[in-house]
Amino acid sequence: MDTPRPGRTAGDRQQAAVASDADFVVVANRLPVHLDTSDPDAPRWRRSPGGLVSALDPILRNRRGAWVGWAGTVTGGARPALPEQDIRLHPVPLAEDEYRDYYEGFSNTTLWPLFHDVVVPPDFDQAWWHSYLRVNQRFAQHTAGLAAPGATVWVQDYQLMLVPALLRALRPDVRIGFFLHIPFPPPELFLQLPWRSQIVDGLLGADLIGFQLPGGAQNFLQLVRRLHRGESVGRAPRSSLLGSVLVPGREVRVGAFPISVDTAGLEELARSEAVRERARQIRRQLGEHRRVMLGVDRLDYTKGIDQRLRAFEALLADGRASARDTVLVQIATPSRERVEHYRRQRARIEALVGQINGTFGQVGQVPVHYLHTTVGRSELAALYGAADVMLVTPLRDGMNLVAKEFVAARPDLGGALVLSEFAGAAHELTRALLVNPHHPAELSDVMAAALDQDPAEGRCRMRDLRRHVRERDVHHWARSFLTVLRAGGSGAVPSGSDDSPQAAVVA
Ligand code: GDG
């Protein structure tokens, strides 16, 4: 199949000619806001919680920064703005059929499963691909119209992998970084994709391509070699940079930059009296003497929620736990609810919860508390604080921020973290109780071991885990990426990206 060589139409040139003054532009599928319609008479834009926003916020405020993304509504309506007008938001419109084909289709039914070890089979659909290409072109055009001469542009994630090349064709003067939040699969899997060369060429429009783990970066470098898309050069992995791809006239650097959380912010929240009191209240509500296990995930088939429930069921069945002494609280945040695999996953999980509670529960005492909802940030911190055991057991996950958030929210050094080997976080949080979630007996055993963990050993592990997330927080992540991006070629330098130790190594 032909590689899309983004053509420069008169419309493109016109878009690029729009007055542009943003020195630092973040481009992501979603703007960092959502429309709060709890009062239907007065809908309000509210800032969405998340580490990405808090990490980029100071950089966006200090420079003439802008965020390009979809506002989350296909119905139009009021232009999104934050109450305090602090970050300049630039909405990219999406039509209903584009939401279906670009977002639910190509992004979440083709790329998402393909990049997560084909946990479910990906669908390949030409119409979805065309929609993905069209929407990526739109994002590139909007960004081109907004960026100041020599600006730094940071493109985020798998929904926008064509944007780097499309943007470079419109604005060769800007410096482009790309970061992939999900795993990058081995070439054997990626090569299934009918549009594989186009995606690789899209990414190669960047100056720096960042992955969560060195393995993802290496998979990408191997793929470039297999597809002959440029000369791929490896480097001794002394720093975040793992190699480069030489394309005509340019070097594209490739590295690993594990994302993290706002550790200090979460710790402060966890230490607040309101959150601590709420944590005590949750424990009282669940039963003073019961051990509390917790899962917090988007309801996604990659997160291993059903494997976790089955492992708990096995503990109840063999008597290592009972509804009297143990409870599992599972927060399952609604996600991609119109996509078939997600609908089926929800039905499977809810049947399993019903089965477990029906078999092992008593009046007033059920073993699983399942909430299909989104809870507030303080409530989440209180749940982290109330848990004896945090269960993070994805079958495959780029990083998993919940694991790092739990650690950040435990200044009391309490709680045990059970963590899947297949989460990116396992490469850093090696003092967690690591587990293979594909192995049912091992999963039950590690959950039982976590419930019975010696408190002194638990504190020791938690101390080590906390040291890591304090040093490597989300600010460190953003600084490391932007410092390396700045270290090559020309372009505006975002403030706050002071030299990190890694910069010295790669300079
Ligand atoms: C992708 C990659 C990578 C969840 N429920 C509630 C809530 N959350 C928050 C968590 C956490 C975030 O959502 C989920 O982040 P994860 O990392 O666990 O997972 P993905 O959504 O799949 O994210 C992943 C990440 O990008 C970043 O690069 O780590 O691998 O798949 O922050 O706290 N927050 C609130 N209420 C909830 O009910 N407030």
Render 208-275 in DSSP notation, one character per residue.
EEEESSHHHHHHHHHHHHHHTSSEEEE---SSSEEEEEEETTEEEEEEE------HHHHHHHHHSHHH
Q: Which residue reads 């009046």 in tokens?
A: 363
Four-residue CA torsion sign, 48, 298, 350, 450: negative
pLDDT at 496 over 60: no
Does 107 share its domain with 38? yes
303 CA closest ligand 1 atom index:
22
Residue 5 belongs to some domain of the structure? no
Q: What band does 495 get if pLDDT is binned at 50, 70 and 90?
A: very low
Mean pLDDT of the chain: 89
Inter-CA distances, 238 with 214, 243, 483, 503, Å? 11, 11, 16, 11
Residue of minimum CA distance from atom 27 in ligand 1: 181
Residue of minimum CA distance from atom 39 in ligand 1: 377
The pLDDT score that the predictor gives to residue 18 is: 46
CATH code of residue 397: 3.40.50.2000
Q: What is the mean pLDDT of residues 415-426?
A: 98
Cα–Cα distance for residue pair 474/472, rounded to 1 Å: 7
The pLDDT score that the predictor gives to residue 37 is: 79
Domain hosting 435: range is: 263-471
Does 233 share its domain with 306? no
pLDDT at 134 over 50: yes
Q: What band does 219 get if pLDDT is binned at 50, 70 and 90?
A: very high
Active site residue 372: no
Cα–Cα distance for residue pair 197/188, rounded to 1 Å: 14
Q: What is the mean pLDDT of residues 283-304?
A: 96
Does 433 share its domain with 490? no
DSSP conformation class of 388: S
Residue 7 belongs to some domain of the structure? no
Distance 152 CA to ligand 1 centre (A): 26
Pairwise pLDDT comparison (298 vs 19), residue with the higher score: 298
The pLDDT score that the predictor gives to residue 6 is: 34
**Contact between 215 and 226 (Cβ < 8 Å):** no
Does 242 share its domain with 268? no
The pLDDT score that the predictor gives to residue 270 is: 98
Q: Is 400 in the pocket of ligand 1 (CB under 6 A)?
A: yes
On the CB side of 169, CA atoms within 13 Å amount to 20
Q: What is the mean pLDDT of residues 371-397?
A: 97
pLDDT at 378 over 80: yes
E strand or H helix at 331: strand 326-333
261 CA closest ligand 1 atom index:
32
Q: What band does 77 get if pLDDT is binned at 50, 70 and 90?
A: low
Residue of minimum CA distance from atom 18 in ligand 1: 400
The pLDDT score that the predictor gives to residue 433 is: 98
Residue 439 belongs to some domain of the structure? yes
Q: What band does 237 get if pLDDT is binned at 50, 70 and 90?
A: low
pLDDT at 2 over 90: no
Question: φ, ψ for residue 360 (rounded to 5)?
Answer: -110, 0
Residue 285's Cβ-count burial label (10 Å; 0-12, 13-18, 19+) is exposed
Q: Is 374 in the pocket of ligand 1 (CB under 6 A)?
A: yes
pLDDT in tens, 325-375: 999 999 999 989 888 899 999 999 999 999 999 999 999 999 999 999 999
Decide: helix, strand or coil at residue 59: helix
Does 458 share its domain with 392? yes
**Which tokens is 95 given?**
């039509």
Residue 197's Cβ-count burial label (10 Å; 0-12, 13-18, 19+) is middle
Percent of the chain with pLDDT over 70: 89
pLDDT at 17 over 70: no
Q: Is 366 in the pocket of ligand 1 (CB under 6 A)?
A: no
pLDDT at 501 over 50: no
Does 327 share its domain with 462? yes
pLDDT at 261 over 70: yes
| 368-371, strands of its sheet edge to edge | 368-371, 326-333, 291-298, 389-392, 416-420, 433-435
The pLDDT score that the predictor gives to residue 81 is: 65
Distance 276 CA to ligand 1 centre (A): 22
Does 388 share its domain with 248? no
Residue 41's Cβ-count burial label (10 Å; 0-12, 13-18, 19+) is exposed
Cα–Cα distance for residue pair 388/417, rounded to 1 Å: 9
Distance 150 CA to ligand 1 centre (A): 33
Among residues 262, 388, 397, 473, the one annotated as catalytic is: 397
**Which tokens is 156 given?**
């985020």
Does 271 share its domain with 301? yes
Q: Is 401 in the pocket of ligand 1 (CB under 6 A)?
A: yes
The pLDDT score that the predictor gives to residue 84 is: 52
Q: What is the mean pLDDT of residues 167-190?
A: 97
331 CA closest ligand 1 atom index:
38
Does 143 share its domain with 79? yes
pLDDT at 493 over 50: no
Active site residue 181: yes
Residue of minimum CA distance from atom 23 in ligand 1: 400
Does 67 share its domain with 115? yes
Distance 297 CA to ligand 1 centre (A): 7
In a mutational test of the pocket of ligand 1, which residue from 34, 48, 296 has the highest number of ligand atoms less than 8 Å from its CB?
Answer: 296
Does 252 share its domain with 270? no
Cα–Cα distance for residue pair 254/225, rounded to 1 Å: 14
pLDDT at 494 over 80: no
- Provide the number of structural domains found in the chain: 2
Q: What is the mean pLDDT of residues 161-167?
A: 98
Does 228 share its domain with 358? no
pLDDT in tens, 103-128: 999 999 999 999 999 999 999 999 99
Distance 291 CA to ligand 1 centre (A): 25
Q: Is 333 in the pocket of ligand 1 (CB under 6 A)?
A: yes
The pLDDT score that the predictor gives to residue 15 is: 43
